[in-house]
Copies of this chain bind each other. A is one copy, B any other.
Amino acid sequence: MPGVVTALDVAHRAGVSRSAVSRCFTAGASIAPDTRARILAAADALGYRPNALARSLITRRSGLIAVVLGQLDNPFYADLLARLAAALQTEGYRLLLFFASPQDAPDPLVGQILPYQVDGVVLAATSLTSGLADACAAAGIPVVLVNRTTDRPAVASVTSANREGGRLAARFLLAAGHRRLAYVAGAAGASTNRDRALGFAEVLQETGLVPPVQAEGHYTHAGAAAAARTLFGSPEPPDAVFCANDHMAVAVLDTARREFGLRIPNDLSVVGFDDAPHARWGAYALTTVEQPATAMVAVAVSLLVSQIEGRAVAMHQEAVGGALVVRETARRPATGIVCDGNREIWQPAS
Protein backbone atom coordinates (compact mmCIF):
# COMPACT_ATOMS: atom_id res chain seq x y z
CA MET A 1 0.00 0.00 0.00
CA PRO A 2 1.67 3.23 -1.13
CA GLY A 3 -0.64 5.07 1.29
CA VAL A 4 1.33 4.01 4.38
CA VAL A 5 4.52 5.73 3.22
CA THR A 6 4.74 9.13 4.90
CA ALA A 7 6.70 12.27 4.19
CA LEU A 8 8.81 11.42 7.24
CA ASP A 9 9.83 8.09 5.68
CA VAL A 10 10.92 9.94 2.58
CA ALA A 11 12.82 12.50 4.67
CA HIS A 12 14.71 9.74 6.50
CA ARG A 13 15.66 7.95 3.35
CA ALA A 14 16.75 11.14 1.58
CA GLY A 15 18.57 12.39 4.65
CA VAL A 16 16.66 15.67 4.77
CA SER A 17 14.15 17.32 7.09
CA ARG A 18 10.44 16.64 6.86
CA SER A 19 9.84 20.27 5.91
CA ALA A 20 12.21 19.87 2.95
CA VAL A 21 10.01 17.02 1.69
CA SER A 22 6.98 19.23 2.14
CA ARG A 23 8.61 22.10 0.23
CA CYS A 24 9.60 19.71 -2.54
CA PHE A 25 5.95 18.96 -3.21
CA THR A 26 4.55 22.46 -2.65
CA ALA A 27 3.91 24.81 -5.55
CA GLY A 28 6.16 27.84 -5.55
CA ALA A 29 8.24 26.72 -2.55
CA SER A 30 12.00 27.10 -2.91
CA ILE A 31 14.31 24.11 -2.70
CA ALA A 32 17.82 23.38 -3.94
CA PRO A 33 17.91 21.29 -7.13
CA ASP A 34 20.08 18.53 -5.69
CA THR A 35 17.96 18.27 -2.52
CA ARG A 36 14.92 18.08 -4.74
CA ALA A 37 16.49 15.31 -6.83
CA ARG A 38 17.40 13.31 -3.68
CA ILE A 39 13.86 13.62 -2.33
CA LEU A 40 12.26 12.63 -5.64
CA ALA A 41 14.50 9.57 -5.86
CA ALA A 42 13.61 8.57 -2.29
CA ALA A 43 9.91 9.17 -2.92
CA ASP A 44 10.08 7.08 -6.05
CA ALA A 45 11.91 4.24 -4.33
CA LEU A 46 9.38 4.14 -1.48
CA GLY A 47 6.30 4.64 -3.66
CA TYR A 48 5.41 7.82 -1.79
CA ARG A 49 2.45 9.71 -3.24
CA PRO A 50 2.06 13.22 -1.83
CA ASN A 51 -1.51 14.39 -1.70
CA ALA A 52 -1.54 17.97 -2.94
CA LEU A 53 -5.24 18.30 -2.23
CA ALA A 54 -4.96 17.24 1.40
CA ARG A 55 -2.01 19.58 1.85
CA SER A 56 -4.00 22.43 0.34
CA LEU A 57 -6.50 22.19 3.20
CA ILE A 58 -3.72 22.96 5.64
CA THR A 59 -1.60 25.37 3.63
CA ARG A 60 -4.57 27.09 1.94
CA ARG A 61 -2.56 26.77 -1.25
CA SER A 62 -3.83 24.37 -3.89
CA GLY A 63 -1.07 25.15 -6.40
CA LEU A 64 -3.83 25.46 -9.00
CA ILE A 65 -4.27 28.43 -11.34
CA ALA A 66 -7.50 28.63 -13.33
CA VAL A 67 -7.01 29.85 -16.89
CA VAL A 68 -10.19 30.94 -18.68
CA LEU A 69 -10.14 31.18 -22.47
CA GLY A 70 -12.82 32.14 -24.95
CA GLN A 71 -11.69 30.29 -28.06
CA LEU A 72 -8.79 28.23 -29.25
CA ASP A 73 -9.41 28.26 -33.02
CA ASN A 74 -7.49 31.54 -33.13
CA PRO A 75 -3.82 30.38 -33.14
CA PHE A 76 -2.83 33.45 -31.10
CA TYR A 77 -4.65 31.98 -28.11
CA ALA A 78 -3.19 28.50 -28.62
CA ASP A 79 0.25 30.09 -28.57
CA LEU A 80 -0.64 32.19 -25.51
CA LEU A 81 -1.91 29.11 -23.67
CA ALA A 82 1.25 27.11 -24.39
CA ARG A 83 3.38 30.01 -23.11
CA LEU A 84 1.19 30.46 -20.02
CA ALA A 85 1.40 26.76 -19.23
CA ALA A 86 5.18 26.81 -19.48
CA ALA A 87 5.51 29.93 -17.31
CA LEU A 88 3.12 28.63 -14.64
CA GLN A 89 4.85 25.25 -14.65
CA THR A 90 8.17 27.01 -14.04
CA GLU A 91 6.65 28.79 -11.04
CA GLY A 92 5.42 25.45 -9.69
CA TYR A 93 1.73 25.91 -10.46
CA ARG A 94 -0.70 23.64 -12.29
CA LEU A 95 -3.09 24.91 -14.91
CA LEU A 96 -6.81 24.26 -14.60
CA LEU A 97 -8.35 25.07 -17.98
CA PHE A 98 -11.82 26.52 -18.57
CA PHE A 99 -13.57 27.78 -21.67
CA ALA A 100 -16.15 30.53 -21.56
CA SER A 101 -18.41 31.11 -24.51
CA PRO A 102 -19.26 34.75 -25.21
CA GLN A 103 -22.89 34.09 -24.34
CA ASP A 104 -22.04 32.61 -20.95
CA ALA A 105 -23.18 34.41 -17.89
CA PRO A 106 -20.19 34.33 -15.54
CA ASP A 107 -22.04 32.48 -12.80
CA PRO A 108 -21.69 28.90 -14.10
CA LEU A 109 -17.93 29.33 -14.38
CA VAL A 110 -17.69 30.85 -10.92
CA GLY A 111 -19.45 27.76 -9.58
CA GLN A 112 -16.93 25.55 -11.36
CA ILE A 113 -13.77 27.42 -10.46
CA LEU A 114 -14.21 28.45 -6.84
CA PRO A 115 -14.72 24.95 -5.37
CA TYR A 116 -11.18 24.07 -6.43
CA GLN A 117 -9.68 26.70 -4.11
CA VAL A 118 -7.52 28.00 -6.92
CA ASP A 119 -4.63 30.23 -5.89
CA GLY A 120 -5.29 32.60 -8.79
CA VAL A 121 -7.20 33.14 -12.01
CA VAL A 122 -6.02 34.24 -15.46
CA LEU A 123 -8.85 35.57 -17.59
CA ALA A 124 -7.86 35.62 -21.25
CA ALA A 125 -11.27 35.66 -22.90
CA THR A 126 -11.87 39.01 -24.58
CA SER A 127 -15.62 38.63 -24.55
CA LEU A 128 -16.22 37.79 -20.90
CA THR A 129 -18.26 40.12 -18.81
CA SER A 130 -16.53 41.43 -15.73
CA GLY A 131 -18.74 39.33 -13.45
CA LEU A 132 -16.21 36.53 -13.11
CA ALA A 133 -13.37 38.91 -12.21
CA ASP A 134 -15.63 40.53 -9.62
CA ALA A 135 -16.67 37.20 -8.11
CA CYS A 136 -13.04 36.10 -7.78
CA ALA A 137 -12.04 39.43 -6.26
CA ALA A 138 -14.92 39.15 -3.80
CA ALA A 139 -13.70 35.67 -2.81
CA GLY A 140 -10.20 37.06 -2.25
CA ILE A 141 -8.69 35.22 -5.20
CA PRO A 142 -6.02 37.09 -7.20
CA VAL A 143 -7.02 37.75 -10.80
CA VAL A 144 -5.12 38.92 -13.85
CA LEU A 145 -6.81 39.83 -17.10
CA VAL A 146 -4.79 39.06 -20.22
CA ASN A 147 -5.56 40.80 -23.50
CA ARG A 148 -8.42 42.72 -22.00
CA THR A 149 -8.92 45.50 -19.53
CA THR A 150 -11.74 46.59 -17.29
CA ASP A 151 -12.69 49.98 -15.91
CA ARG A 152 -12.42 48.60 -12.39
CA PRO A 153 -9.11 49.77 -10.95
CA ALA A 154 -9.05 46.86 -8.50
CA VAL A 155 -8.24 44.27 -11.18
CA ALA A 156 -4.77 43.75 -12.65
CA SER A 157 -4.42 43.41 -16.40
CA VAL A 158 -1.87 43.09 -19.14
CA THR A 159 -2.52 43.91 -22.78
CA SER A 160 -0.47 45.01 -25.69
CA ALA A 161 -0.53 48.73 -26.48
CA ASN A 162 -3.75 48.42 -28.48
CA ARG A 163 -4.48 52.09 -29.11
CA GLU A 164 -0.88 52.76 -30.14
CA GLY A 165 -1.04 49.67 -32.35
CA GLY A 166 -4.14 51.01 -34.09
CA ARG A 167 -2.38 54.34 -34.58
CA LEU A 168 0.68 52.60 -36.01
CA ALA A 169 -1.43 50.65 -38.52
CA ALA A 170 -3.14 53.84 -39.71
CA ARG A 171 0.12 55.78 -40.06
CA PHE A 172 1.70 52.88 -41.94
CA LEU A 173 -1.14 52.63 -44.46
CA LEU A 174 -1.25 56.42 -44.94
CA ALA A 175 2.54 56.50 -45.43
CA ALA A 176 2.10 53.90 -48.19
CA GLY A 177 -0.33 56.25 -49.93
CA HIS A 178 -3.66 54.65 -49.06
CA ARG A 179 -6.68 56.90 -48.55
CA ARG A 180 -9.66 54.53 -48.81
CA LEU A 181 -9.30 52.76 -45.48
CA ALA A 182 -11.55 50.18 -43.82
CA TYR A 183 -11.54 48.52 -40.41
CA VAL A 184 -12.70 44.94 -39.83
CA ALA A 185 -13.84 45.06 -36.22
CA GLY A 186 -13.56 42.40 -33.52
CA ALA A 187 -16.16 41.56 -30.90
CA ALA A 188 -18.27 44.54 -29.90
CA GLY A 189 -17.63 45.22 -26.24
CA ALA A 190 -14.08 43.83 -26.23
CA SER A 191 -11.60 46.39 -24.93
CA THR A 192 -9.02 45.23 -27.49
CA ASN A 193 -11.40 46.03 -30.34
CA ARG A 194 -12.41 49.37 -28.84
CA ASP A 195 -8.82 50.53 -28.36
CA ARG A 196 -7.51 49.35 -31.74
CA ALA A 197 -10.44 51.03 -33.51
CA LEU A 198 -9.92 54.21 -31.50
CA GLY A 199 -6.23 54.49 -32.35
CA PHE A 200 -6.86 53.76 -36.03
CA ALA A 201 -9.69 56.29 -36.36
CA GLU A 202 -8.04 59.10 -34.45
CA VAL A 203 -5.03 59.17 -36.79
CA LEU A 204 -7.40 59.53 -39.75
CA GLN A 205 -9.18 62.33 -37.95
CA GLU A 206 -5.92 64.10 -37.09
CA THR A 207 -4.95 63.86 -40.76
CA GLY A 208 -8.24 65.46 -41.84
CA LEU A 209 -9.57 62.28 -43.46
CA VAL A 210 -13.03 60.77 -43.18
CA PRO A 211 -13.43 57.97 -40.60
CA PRO A 212 -12.70 54.44 -41.85
CA VAL A 213 -15.49 52.32 -43.23
CA GLN A 214 -16.19 49.67 -40.61
CA ALA A 215 -17.44 46.10 -41.03
CA GLU A 216 -18.07 43.71 -38.16
CA GLY A 217 -15.93 40.58 -38.10
CA HIS A 218 -16.65 39.59 -34.48
CA TYR A 219 -13.10 38.13 -34.13
CA THR A 220 -14.25 35.03 -36.03
CA HIS A 221 -13.12 33.55 -39.36
CA ALA A 222 -16.65 33.35 -40.77
CA GLY A 223 -17.52 36.84 -39.51
CA ALA A 224 -14.45 38.33 -41.16
CA ALA A 225 -15.17 36.57 -44.48
CA ALA A 226 -18.68 38.07 -44.44
CA ALA A 227 -17.26 41.50 -43.57
CA ALA A 228 -14.83 41.23 -46.49
CA ARG A 229 -17.68 40.42 -48.89
CA THR A 230 -19.54 43.53 -47.74
CA LEU A 231 -16.46 45.74 -48.11
CA PHE A 232 -15.20 44.44 -51.48
CA GLY A 233 -18.70 44.20 -52.96
CA SER A 234 -19.53 47.83 -52.19
CA PRO A 235 -19.57 50.55 -54.90
CA GLU A 236 -16.47 52.18 -53.39
CA PRO A 237 -14.35 49.34 -52.04
CA PRO A 238 -11.40 50.15 -49.77
CA ASP A 239 -7.84 49.77 -51.01
CA ALA A 240 -6.52 49.05 -47.51
CA VAL A 241 -8.01 47.06 -44.64
CA PHE A 242 -6.88 46.99 -41.03
CA CYS A 243 -8.15 43.83 -39.30
CA ALA A 244 -8.49 43.78 -35.51
CA ASN A 245 -6.66 40.44 -35.40
CA ASP A 246 -4.66 38.05 -37.62
CA HIS A 247 -7.29 35.34 -37.37
CA MET A 248 -9.70 37.65 -39.25
CA ALA A 249 -6.97 38.92 -41.62
CA VAL A 250 -6.54 35.37 -42.94
CA ALA A 251 -10.22 35.22 -43.87
CA VAL A 252 -10.11 38.71 -45.41
CA LEU A 253 -7.08 37.75 -47.55
CA ASP A 254 -8.66 34.49 -48.72
CA THR A 255 -11.93 36.22 -49.59
CA ALA A 256 -10.17 39.07 -51.41
CA ARG A 257 -8.04 36.73 -53.51
CA ARG A 258 -10.44 33.89 -54.19
CA GLU A 259 -13.81 35.62 -54.45
CA PHE A 260 -12.83 39.06 -55.78
CA GLY A 261 -9.63 38.23 -57.68
CA LEU A 262 -7.71 40.98 -55.86
CA ARG A 263 -3.92 40.89 -55.99
CA ILE A 264 -2.17 41.46 -52.68
CA PRO A 265 -0.71 44.07 -52.16
CA ASN A 266 -1.11 45.59 -55.67
CA ASP A 267 -4.88 45.98 -55.44
CA LEU A 268 -5.31 45.78 -51.70
CA SER A 269 -3.24 46.15 -48.54
CA VAL A 270 -4.18 44.12 -45.47
CA VAL A 271 -2.71 44.70 -42.00
CA GLY A 272 -3.51 42.40 -39.08
CA PHE A 273 -2.94 42.46 -35.33
CA ASP A 274 -1.18 39.81 -33.17
CA ASP A 275 1.73 38.45 -35.21
CA ALA A 276 0.33 35.02 -34.37
CA PRO A 277 2.30 31.98 -35.58
CA HIS A 278 0.30 31.61 -38.81
CA ALA A 279 1.09 35.22 -39.79
CA ARG A 280 4.56 33.88 -40.64
CA TRP A 281 3.30 31.06 -42.85
CA GLY A 282 4.32 31.66 -46.45
CA ALA A 283 0.87 31.65 -48.02
CA TYR A 284 -0.17 34.57 -45.78
CA ALA A 285 3.12 36.35 -44.90
CA LEU A 286 1.03 38.90 -43.08
CA THR A 287 2.01 42.47 -42.33
CA THR A 288 0.75 42.93 -38.80
CA VAL A 289 1.00 44.75 -35.48
CA GLU A 290 2.72 42.47 -33.01
CA GLN A 291 1.31 41.52 -29.65
CA PRO A 292 4.43 40.48 -27.73
CA ALA A 293 3.06 37.24 -26.26
CA THR A 294 6.25 36.32 -24.42
CA ALA A 295 6.38 39.66 -22.60
CA MET A 296 2.63 39.66 -21.92
CA VAL A 297 2.76 36.22 -20.35
CA ALA A 298 5.79 37.13 -18.24
CA VAL A 299 4.00 40.22 -16.91
CA ALA A 300 0.76 38.32 -16.29
CA VAL A 301 2.44 35.54 -14.32
CA SER A 302 4.52 38.03 -12.37
CA LEU A 303 1.43 40.11 -11.47
CA LEU A 304 -0.43 36.98 -10.41
CA VAL A 305 2.36 35.42 -8.37
CA SER A 306 3.11 38.66 -6.52
CA GLN A 307 -0.55 38.92 -5.57
CA ILE A 308 -0.64 35.30 -4.41
CA GLU A 309 2.46 35.79 -2.32
CA GLY A 310 1.06 38.97 -0.82
CA ARG A 311 3.81 41.14 -2.24
CA ALA A 312 1.35 43.29 -4.20
CA VAL A 313 -2.07 44.56 -3.27
CA ALA A 314 -2.26 47.65 -5.45
CA MET A 315 -3.57 46.74 -8.84
CA HIS A 316 -1.74 47.38 -11.99
CA GLN A 317 -2.72 47.83 -15.63
CA GLU A 318 0.20 47.20 -17.93
CA ALA A 319 0.36 47.63 -21.71
CA VAL A 320 3.29 46.13 -23.61
CA GLY A 321 4.19 47.75 -26.91
CA GLY A 322 4.67 45.74 -30.10
CA ALA A 323 6.25 46.49 -33.46
CA LEU A 324 4.58 46.73 -36.86
CA VAL A 325 6.05 43.69 -38.62
CA VAL A 326 6.42 44.21 -42.37
CA ARG A 327 5.81 41.17 -44.56
CA GLU A 328 3.99 40.91 -47.87
CA THR A 329 0.31 41.80 -47.52
CA ALA A 330 0.60 45.58 -47.57
CA ARG A 331 2.21 48.15 -49.83
CA ARG A 332 5.55 49.35 -48.43
CA PRO A 333 6.02 52.98 -47.44
CA ALA A 334 9.05 54.64 -49.05
CA THR A 335 10.75 55.21 -45.73
CA GLY A 336 10.86 53.79 -42.22
CA ILE A 337 11.30 50.05 -42.87
CA VAL A 338 14.25 48.71 -40.89
CA CYS A 339 15.73 45.30 -40.16
CA ASP A 340 15.14 43.89 -36.69
CA GLY A 341 16.89 40.57 -36.32
CA ASN A 342 15.43 38.24 -38.94
CA ARG A 343 12.36 40.37 -39.62
CA GLU A 344 11.52 43.82 -40.99
CA ILE A 345 9.60 46.34 -38.90
CA TRP A 346 8.29 49.85 -39.61
CA GLN A 347 9.62 52.72 -37.53
CA PRO A 348 8.21 56.06 -38.59
CA ALA A 349 10.48 59.09 -38.22
CA SER A 350 8.40 60.84 -35.55
Contact = CB atoms under 8 A, between A and B. Distances in A.
A96 interface: yes
A221 B2 CA distance: 43
A257 interface: yes
Interface in A19-77: 25, 40, 43-44, 49-54, 56-57, 62, 64, 67, 71-73, 75
Nearest to A253: B283
A52 B254 contact: no
A336 B68 CA distance: 45
Contacts of A257: 282-283
A144 to B, nearest CB: 17
A4 interface: no
A39 B246 CA distance: 43
A64 B81 CA distance: 19
Interface of A: 2, 25, 40, 43-44, 49-54, 56-57, 62, 64, 67, 71-73, 75, 78-79, 81-82, 85-86, 89, 94-99, 107, 111-112, 114-117, 139, 221, 250-251, 253-255, 257-258, 277-278, 281-284
B62 A73 contact: no
B51 A117 contact: yes
B75 A99 contact: no
Contact of A85 (B97, B111, B116, B221): B97
Nearest to A116: B52
19 contacts: A2-B139, A50-B114, A51-B57, A53-B57, A53-B62, A53-B116, A54-B57, A72-B79, A72-B82, A73-B82, A75-B75, A82-B99, A89-B99, A94-B112, A94-B116, A96-B96, A253-B283, A254-B283, A283-B283
Nearest to A43: B111
A73 to B, nearest CB: 6
A107 B91 CA distance: 18
A117 B52 contact: yes
Given A85-B97, A99-B86, A116-B52, A107 B40 contact: yes
Contacts of A44: 107
Nearest to A255: B282
Contact of A49 (B51, B96, B115, B278): B115
A28 to B, nearest CB: 13
Contacts of A56: 53
A249 to B, nearest CB: 11
Nearest to A50: B115
Nearest to A115: B52
B78 A72 contact: yes
A117 B254 contact: no
B281 A254 contact: yes
A79 B73 contact: yes
B278 A258 contact: no
Contacts of A50: 114-115
